[in-house]
Amino acid sequence: MSKKLSADLDGLTPTPLDAVTKPVNWQLEQIVEQLRAARAEWRSSTGRARELGSRELPSRAAVENILEALCGALFPMRLGPSGLRQESEDFYVGHTLDNALNSLLEQARLELRYAARQRGEVEAGSDAVAVQIVRDFAAALPGLRRLLDSDVIAAFAGDPAARSVDEVLLCYPGILAVIHHRLAHHLYRAGLPLLARIAAEIAHSATGIDIHPGAQIGHSFFIDHGTGVVIGETAVIGNRVRIYQAVTLGAKRFTADETGQLHKGQARHPIVEDDVVIYAGATILGRITLGKGSTIGGNVWLTRSVPPGSNVTQATLQHQPGSPG
Protein backbone atom coordinates (compact mmCIF):
# COMPACT_ATOMS: atom_id res chain seq x y z
CA MET A 1 0.00 0.00 0.00
CA SER A 2 1.35 3.44 -0.90
CA LYS A 3 2.19 5.92 1.87
CA LYS A 4 -0.36 8.41 0.45
CA LEU A 5 -3.20 5.84 0.41
CA SER A 6 -2.28 4.70 3.91
CA ALA A 7 -2.36 8.28 5.16
CA ASP A 8 -5.72 8.91 3.47
CA LEU A 9 -7.23 5.84 5.10
CA ASP A 10 -5.85 6.82 8.51
CA GLY A 11 -7.54 10.19 8.14
CA LEU A 12 -11.01 8.70 7.64
CA THR A 13 -13.33 8.96 10.61
CA PRO A 14 -15.43 5.78 11.04
CA THR A 15 -19.18 6.23 11.36
CA PRO A 16 -20.32 5.49 14.91
CA LEU A 17 -22.38 2.31 15.12
CA ASP A 18 -25.25 4.05 16.93
CA ALA A 19 -25.53 6.58 14.06
CA VAL A 20 -26.22 3.69 11.66
CA THR A 21 -28.67 1.78 13.85
CA LYS A 22 -30.55 4.71 15.39
CA PRO A 23 -34.11 4.89 13.99
CA VAL A 24 -34.86 7.84 11.73
CA ASN A 25 -37.93 9.93 12.42
CA TRP A 26 -39.79 10.02 9.09
CA GLN A 27 -42.63 12.21 10.39
CA LEU A 28 -44.99 9.40 9.42
CA GLU A 29 -47.93 10.63 11.46
CA GLN A 30 -47.97 13.88 9.53
CA ILE A 31 -47.51 12.14 6.16
CA VAL A 32 -50.30 9.64 6.86
CA GLU A 33 -52.62 12.51 7.78
CA GLN A 34 -51.75 14.39 4.58
CA LEU A 35 -52.29 11.27 2.46
CA ARG A 36 -55.69 10.78 4.10
CA ALA A 37 -56.59 14.34 3.16
CA ALA A 38 -55.45 13.76 -0.45
CA ARG A 39 -57.63 10.62 -0.68
CA ALA A 40 -60.59 12.49 0.75
CA GLU A 41 -60.17 15.28 -1.82
CA TRP A 42 -60.01 12.74 -4.66
CA ARG A 43 -63.07 10.82 -3.47
CA SER A 44 -65.04 14.01 -3.01
CA SER A 45 -64.13 15.37 -6.46
CA THR A 46 -65.02 12.07 -8.18
CA GLY A 47 -68.24 11.43 -6.28
CA ARG A 48 -66.86 8.53 -4.26
CA ALA A 49 -67.15 10.03 -0.83
CA ARG A 50 -69.36 7.31 0.66
CA GLU A 51 -67.64 4.87 3.00
CA LEU A 52 -67.31 1.36 1.58
CA GLY A 53 -65.55 -0.29 4.50
CA SER A 54 -63.67 -2.78 2.28
CA ARG A 55 -61.82 -3.05 -1.01
CA GLU A 56 -63.74 -1.55 -3.93
CA LEU A 57 -61.81 -2.74 -6.99
CA PRO A 58 -60.18 -5.99 -8.15
CA SER A 59 -56.57 -6.65 -7.17
CA ARG A 60 -53.85 -6.77 -9.81
CA ALA A 61 -51.79 -9.06 -7.58
CA ALA A 62 -54.71 -11.48 -7.26
CA VAL A 63 -55.26 -11.48 -11.04
CA GLU A 64 -51.57 -12.19 -11.59
CA ASN A 65 -51.77 -15.21 -9.27
CA ILE A 66 -54.93 -16.42 -11.04
CA LEU A 67 -53.27 -16.20 -14.45
CA GLU A 68 -50.19 -18.09 -13.26
CA ALA A 69 -52.43 -20.82 -11.87
CA LEU A 70 -54.49 -21.01 -15.06
CA CYS A 71 -51.35 -21.29 -17.20
CA GLY A 72 -50.25 -24.20 -15.02
CA ALA A 73 -53.65 -25.86 -15.23
CA LEU A 74 -53.74 -25.49 -19.02
CA PHE A 75 -50.18 -26.80 -19.53
CA PRO A 76 -49.37 -28.66 -16.30
CA MET A 77 -46.23 -30.54 -17.37
CA ARG A 78 -44.64 -27.47 -18.95
CA LEU A 79 -45.99 -24.43 -17.07
CA GLY A 80 -46.93 -26.21 -13.84
CA PRO A 81 -44.70 -26.87 -10.80
CA SER A 82 -41.25 -28.33 -11.43
CA GLY A 83 -41.85 -31.45 -9.32
CA LEU A 84 -45.13 -32.47 -10.95
CA ARG A 85 -45.39 -36.06 -12.20
CA GLN A 86 -47.71 -37.16 -14.97
CA GLU A 87 -49.68 -39.48 -12.72
CA SER A 88 -50.55 -36.49 -10.54
CA GLU A 89 -51.65 -34.19 -13.39
CA ASP A 90 -55.40 -34.50 -12.86
CA PHE A 91 -55.14 -33.93 -9.11
CA TYR A 92 -52.92 -30.88 -9.65
CA VAL A 93 -55.19 -29.46 -12.35
CA GLY A 94 -58.34 -29.96 -10.27
CA HIS A 95 -56.83 -28.50 -7.10
CA THR A 96 -55.28 -25.56 -8.97
CA LEU A 97 -58.47 -24.76 -10.87
CA ASP A 98 -60.56 -24.89 -7.70
CA ASN A 99 -58.36 -22.29 -6.04
CA ALA A 100 -58.02 -20.14 -9.18
CA LEU A 101 -61.72 -20.12 -10.00
CA ASN A 102 -62.72 -19.25 -6.44
CA SER A 103 -60.24 -16.40 -6.47
CA LEU A 104 -61.51 -15.28 -9.89
CA LEU A 105 -65.06 -15.35 -8.54
CA GLU A 106 -64.13 -12.95 -5.75
CA GLN A 107 -62.46 -10.58 -8.22
CA ALA A 108 -65.46 -10.80 -10.56
CA ARG A 109 -67.80 -9.91 -7.69
CA LEU A 110 -65.70 -6.84 -6.94
CA GLU A 111 -65.81 -5.65 -10.55
CA LEU A 112 -69.54 -6.25 -10.98
CA ARG A 113 -70.40 -4.55 -7.70
CA TYR A 114 -68.21 -1.61 -8.65
CA ALA A 115 -69.87 -1.36 -12.09
CA ALA A 116 -73.33 -1.46 -10.51
CA ARG A 117 -72.42 1.38 -8.14
CA GLN A 118 -71.05 3.43 -11.02
CA ARG A 119 -74.37 3.05 -12.84
CA GLY A 120 -76.35 3.88 -9.71
CA GLU A 121 -77.84 0.37 -9.56
CA VAL A 122 -78.25 -2.01 -6.66
CA GLU A 123 -75.46 -4.51 -6.15
CA ALA A 124 -77.68 -7.37 -5.01
CA GLY A 125 -77.70 -9.30 -8.28
CA SER A 126 -73.99 -9.01 -8.97
CA ASP A 127 -72.91 -12.13 -7.09
CA ALA A 128 -75.18 -14.49 -9.03
CA VAL A 129 -73.98 -13.00 -12.32
CA ALA A 130 -70.37 -13.45 -11.20
CA VAL A 131 -70.95 -17.13 -10.43
CA GLN A 132 -72.44 -17.73 -13.87
CA ILE A 133 -69.62 -15.91 -15.64
CA VAL A 134 -66.94 -17.90 -13.84
CA ARG A 135 -68.82 -21.16 -14.39
CA ASP A 136 -68.96 -20.43 -18.12
CA PHE A 137 -65.28 -19.47 -18.09
CA ALA A 138 -64.36 -22.78 -16.48
CA ALA A 139 -66.40 -24.70 -19.05
CA ALA A 140 -64.58 -22.86 -21.85
CA LEU A 141 -61.08 -23.85 -20.70
CA PRO A 142 -60.82 -27.11 -22.70
CA GLY A 143 -61.70 -25.24 -25.90
CA LEU A 144 -59.22 -22.50 -25.04
CA ARG A 145 -56.51 -25.13 -24.51
CA ARG A 146 -57.14 -26.55 -28.01
CA LEU A 147 -57.09 -23.04 -29.49
CA LEU A 148 -53.78 -22.34 -27.76
CA ASP A 149 -52.39 -25.61 -29.12
CA SER A 150 -53.00 -24.23 -32.61
CA ASP A 151 -51.05 -21.07 -31.67
CA VAL A 152 -48.12 -23.09 -30.32
CA ILE A 153 -48.01 -25.25 -33.46
CA ALA A 154 -48.16 -22.13 -35.64
CA ALA A 155 -45.19 -20.64 -33.77
CA PHE A 156 -43.16 -23.83 -34.15
CA ALA A 157 -44.00 -24.14 -37.84
CA GLY A 158 -43.39 -20.45 -38.53
CA ASP A 159 -39.98 -20.06 -36.88
CA PRO A 160 -36.99 -22.00 -38.24
CA ALA A 161 -35.15 -21.30 -34.97
CA ALA A 162 -37.73 -23.21 -32.92
CA ARG A 163 -36.48 -26.69 -32.01
CA SER A 164 -39.67 -27.98 -30.39
CA VAL A 165 -43.17 -26.98 -29.37
CA ASP A 166 -41.97 -27.22 -25.77
CA GLU A 167 -39.33 -24.56 -26.42
CA VAL A 168 -42.01 -22.36 -27.97
CA LEU A 169 -44.30 -22.68 -24.97
CA LEU A 170 -41.57 -22.18 -22.39
CA CYS A 171 -39.61 -19.38 -24.05
CA TYR A 172 -41.58 -17.35 -26.57
CA PRO A 173 -43.04 -14.05 -25.30
CA GLY A 174 -45.59 -14.08 -28.13
CA ILE A 175 -47.06 -17.30 -26.79
CA LEU A 176 -47.31 -15.94 -23.24
CA ALA A 177 -49.07 -12.85 -24.58
CA VAL A 178 -51.50 -14.97 -26.61
CA ILE A 179 -52.29 -17.25 -23.64
CA HIS A 180 -53.17 -14.19 -21.59
CA HIS A 181 -55.15 -12.75 -24.46
CA ARG A 182 -57.26 -15.87 -24.99
CA LEU A 183 -58.19 -15.88 -21.29
CA ALA A 184 -58.68 -12.11 -21.14
CA HIS A 185 -60.81 -12.02 -24.29
CA HIS A 186 -63.25 -14.53 -22.80
CA LEU A 187 -63.58 -12.39 -19.66
CA TYR A 188 -63.99 -9.26 -21.77
CA ARG A 189 -66.83 -10.73 -23.79
CA ALA A 190 -68.42 -12.17 -20.64
CA GLY A 191 -68.82 -8.72 -19.09
CA LEU A 192 -65.63 -8.32 -17.02
CA PRO A 193 -63.69 -5.70 -19.02
CA LEU A 194 -61.66 -4.42 -16.06
CA LEU A 195 -60.37 -7.88 -15.08
CA ALA A 196 -59.67 -8.55 -18.75
CA ARG A 197 -57.70 -5.33 -19.08
CA ILE A 198 -55.67 -6.11 -15.96
CA ALA A 199 -54.84 -9.54 -17.40
CA ALA A 200 -53.78 -7.97 -20.70
CA GLU A 201 -51.59 -5.38 -18.99
CA ILE A 202 -49.84 -8.06 -16.91
CA ALA A 203 -48.83 -9.75 -20.17
CA HIS A 204 -47.90 -6.36 -21.66
CA SER A 205 -45.57 -5.66 -18.73
CA ALA A 206 -43.94 -9.09 -19.04
CA THR A 207 -43.55 -9.24 -22.83
CA GLY A 208 -43.77 -5.76 -24.33
CA ILE A 209 -46.73 -6.98 -26.40
CA ASP A 210 -49.89 -4.89 -26.00
CA ILE A 211 -53.06 -6.73 -27.08
CA HIS A 212 -56.34 -5.17 -26.01
CA PRO A 213 -58.64 -7.91 -24.67
CA GLY A 214 -61.40 -6.79 -27.03
CA ALA A 215 -59.40 -7.76 -30.14
CA GLN A 216 -60.79 -10.79 -32.00
CA ILE A 217 -58.09 -13.25 -33.06
CA GLY A 218 -58.54 -16.48 -35.01
CA HIS A 219 -56.70 -19.76 -34.55
CA SER A 220 -53.03 -20.49 -35.33
CA PHE A 221 -51.88 -16.95 -34.48
CA PHE A 222 -48.15 -16.30 -34.19
CA ILE A 223 -46.31 -13.19 -32.96
CA ASP A 224 -42.60 -13.61 -33.69
CA HIS A 225 -40.16 -11.76 -31.38
CA GLY A 226 -43.04 -9.50 -30.37
CA THR A 227 -41.57 -6.51 -28.55
CA GLY A 228 -43.51 -3.36 -29.38
CA VAL A 229 -46.52 -5.06 -30.97
CA VAL A 230 -49.79 -3.14 -30.43
CA ILE A 231 -53.20 -4.58 -31.32
CA GLY A 232 -56.18 -2.31 -30.69
CA GLU A 233 -59.55 -3.05 -29.10
CA THR A 234 -61.65 -3.45 -32.26
CA ALA A 235 -59.04 -5.22 -34.41
CA VAL A 236 -60.27 -8.41 -36.11
CA ILE A 237 -57.59 -10.95 -37.04
CA GLY A 238 -58.31 -14.08 -39.05
CA ASN A 239 -56.76 -17.54 -38.99
CA ARG A 240 -53.09 -18.39 -39.55
CA VAL A 241 -51.91 -14.77 -39.29
CA ARG A 242 -48.26 -14.06 -38.48
CA ILE A 243 -46.89 -10.71 -37.33
CA TYR A 244 -43.46 -9.54 -36.24
CA GLN A 245 -42.07 -7.10 -33.70
CA ALA A 246 -43.10 -3.43 -33.56
CA VAL A 247 -46.24 -3.94 -35.66
CA THR A 248 -49.16 -1.64 -34.83
CA LEU A 249 -52.78 -2.39 -35.64
CA GLY A 250 -54.12 0.95 -34.51
CA ALA A 251 -56.70 3.66 -35.02
CA LYS A 252 -56.24 6.44 -37.58
CA ARG A 253 -58.33 9.03 -35.75
CA PHE A 254 -60.62 9.36 -32.73
CA THR A 255 -64.06 10.92 -33.09
CA ALA A 256 -65.45 13.07 -30.27
CA ASP A 257 -68.80 14.52 -29.27
CA GLU A 258 -69.68 18.20 -29.00
CA THR A 259 -68.06 18.42 -25.55
CA GLY A 260 -64.80 16.95 -26.77
CA GLN A 261 -65.32 13.55 -25.11
CA LEU A 262 -64.06 10.64 -27.22
CA HIS A 263 -66.63 8.20 -28.59
CA LYS A 264 -66.04 4.78 -27.06
CA GLY A 265 -66.31 1.36 -28.64
CA GLN A 266 -66.51 2.38 -32.30
CA ALA A 267 -64.85 0.07 -34.86
CA ARG A 268 -61.59 1.90 -35.58
CA HIS A 269 -58.89 -0.77 -35.97
CA PRO A 270 -57.91 -2.95 -38.95
CA ILE A 271 -59.44 -6.20 -40.17
CA VAL A 272 -56.72 -8.72 -41.04
CA GLU A 273 -58.02 -11.64 -43.08
CA ASP A 274 -56.69 -15.22 -43.08
CA ASP A 275 -53.07 -16.09 -43.94
CA VAL A 276 -51.72 -12.53 -43.79
CA VAL A 277 -48.08 -11.87 -42.83
CA ILE A 278 -47.09 -8.45 -41.43
CA TYR A 279 -43.37 -7.78 -41.11
CA ALA A 280 -41.50 -5.78 -38.48
CA GLY A 281 -42.29 -2.13 -37.93
CA ALA A 282 -45.40 -1.97 -40.10
CA THR A 283 -48.09 0.48 -38.97
CA ILE A 284 -51.64 -0.34 -40.09
CA LEU A 285 -54.18 2.32 -39.11
CA GLY A 286 -57.95 2.68 -39.32
CA ARG A 287 -60.86 0.40 -40.15
CA ILE A 288 -59.23 -0.98 -43.27
CA THR A 289 -59.01 -4.56 -44.53
CA LEU A 290 -55.88 -6.52 -45.37
CA GLY A 291 -57.10 -9.09 -47.87
CA LYS A 292 -56.55 -12.82 -47.45
CA GLY A 293 -53.03 -14.04 -48.13
CA SER A 294 -51.46 -10.57 -48.29
CA THR A 295 -47.91 -9.77 -47.23
CA ILE A 296 -47.18 -6.37 -45.65
CA GLY A 297 -43.50 -5.44 -45.72
CA GLY A 298 -41.40 -3.99 -42.93
CA ASN A 299 -41.85 -0.36 -41.88
CA VAL A 300 -44.85 0.13 -44.16
CA TRP A 301 -47.34 2.86 -43.16
CA LEU A 302 -50.76 1.79 -44.44
CA THR A 303 -54.13 3.55 -44.12
CA ARG A 304 -56.06 2.02 -47.02
CA SER A 305 -57.44 -1.46 -47.66
CA VAL A 306 -55.56 -3.87 -49.90
CA PRO A 307 -57.10 -6.74 -51.89
CA PRO A 308 -56.41 -10.44 -51.28
CA GLY A 309 -52.96 -11.61 -52.30
CA SER A 310 -51.37 -8.16 -52.13
CA ASN A 311 -47.64 -7.68 -51.59
CA VAL A 312 -47.20 -4.24 -50.04
CA THR A 313 -43.74 -2.73 -49.53
CA GLN A 314 -42.37 0.77 -49.12
CA ALA A 315 -41.35 0.71 -52.78
CA THR A 316 -44.84 -0.18 -54.03
CA LEU A 317 -46.45 2.50 -51.86
CA GLN A 318 -44.11 5.18 -53.20
CA HIS A 319 -45.44 4.51 -56.70
CA GLN A 320 -49.09 4.68 -55.69
CA PRO A 321 -51.14 7.90 -56.16
CA GLY A 322 -51.68 9.68 -52.87
CA SER A 323 -48.83 7.91 -51.10
CA PRO A 324 -48.09 7.14 -48.35
CA GLY A 325 -50.87 4.79 -47.26
pLDDT tens sequence across 206-253: 999 999 999 999 999 999 999 999 999 999 999 999 999 999 999 997
**157-166, 223-232, 253-262: which range is least confident on average?**
253-262
| DSSP symbol at 68 | H
Q: At what angle do helices 126-158 and 89-118 cross, to 10 degrees?
A: 120
- Name which residue leads in pLDDT, 50 or 229: 229
Q: Where in the chain is the domain with CATH 2.160.10.10?
A: 228-253+265-325
Q: Which of the four pLDDT bands, split at 50, 70 and 90, describes residue 10?
A: low
Q: Where in the chain is the domain with CATH 1.10.3130.10?
A: 57-209
How far is C-alpha 234 from the chain's CA centre?
Answer: 15
pLDDT at 183 over 60: yes
For 267-270, the CB contacts below 8 A with 24+ separation are 267/234, 268/232, 268/234, 269/215, 269/231, 269/232, 269/233, 269/234, 269/235, 269/236, 270/235, 270/236
Grouping H, G, I as helix, E, B as strand and the rest as coil, residue 302 is strand
DSSP state string for 81-147 = -TT--GGGHHHHHHHHHHHHHHHHHHHHHHHHHHHHHHTT--STTHHHHHHHHHHHHHHHHHHHHHH
Is residue 168 a contact partner of residue 158, using CB atoms and an 8 Å limit?
no
Q: Which of the four pLDDT bands, split at 50, 70 and 90, describes residue 315?
A: confident
pLDDT in tens, 96-129: 999 999 999 999 999 999 999 888 888 778 999 9
CATH code of the domain occupying 57-209 = 1.10.3130.10
- Name which residue leads in pLDDT, 15 or 192: 192
- The residues that bridge with 256 in the sheet, in sequence order, are 262
Which of 143, 173, 147, 168 lies closest to 157, judged by CA? 168
Q: Whole-model pTM?
A: 0.86
Which of 143, 145, 117, 115 lies closest to 130, judged by CA? 115
Report the CATH architecture of 228-253+265-325.
Answer: 3 Solenoid (2.160)
CA–CA separation, 91 and 88 (whole Å): 5
- Helix or strand holding residue 154 (H, E): helix 126-158
Is residue 53 a contact partner of residue 60, using CB atoms and an 8 Å limit?
no
- The residues that bridge with 301 in the sheet, in sequence order, are 283
**104-118, 178-192, 252-266, 293-307: which range is least confident on average?**
252-266
Q: Which of the four pLDDT bands, split at 50, 70 and 90, describes residue 60?
A: very high
